[in-house]
Amino acid sequence: MWVALLRLLVERKLVLELKSVETLNCTHVFQGLNYVKPGNFNLGLLRNFDVSLLNYGI
């Protein structure tokens, strides 16, 4: 299985985590929270690109 991920910090306000996995699960959510909480960032967005329609990856 091929897995890719990318974390971005946008204007010190948003942590954007991009993944390409079959399904998102609780582990992925907690990984994102581990970046948002210690950095005192306001927003975090987890996005999966391994879906047939991008609306399903939000």
The DSSP annotation for 2-53 comes to --EEEEEEETTTEEEEEEE-SS--HHHHHHHHHHHTTTT-SEEEEEE--SSS
Quote the domain boundaries for residue 10: 4-57
Phi, psi for residue 47 in degrees, rounded to 5:
-130, 130
The pLDDT of residue 13 is above 70: yes
Q: Which residues pair with 20 in a beta bridge?
A: 4
| pLDDT tops 60 at residue 2 | no
Give the CA dihedral 53, 4, 23, 30, nearest 10 degrees: -120
Q: Give 26 or 20, the one with higher predicted confidence.
A: 26
The whole-number average pLDDT for the span 1-6 is 51
Q: What is the pTM of this model?
A: 0.67
Q: How far is Cα 1 from Cα 48, in angstroms, rounded to an integer?
A: 15
What average pLDDT does the structure give for the chain?
78
Q: What total of structural domains would you count in the chain? A: 1
19 pLDDT higher than 70: yes
pLDDT(53) > 50: yes
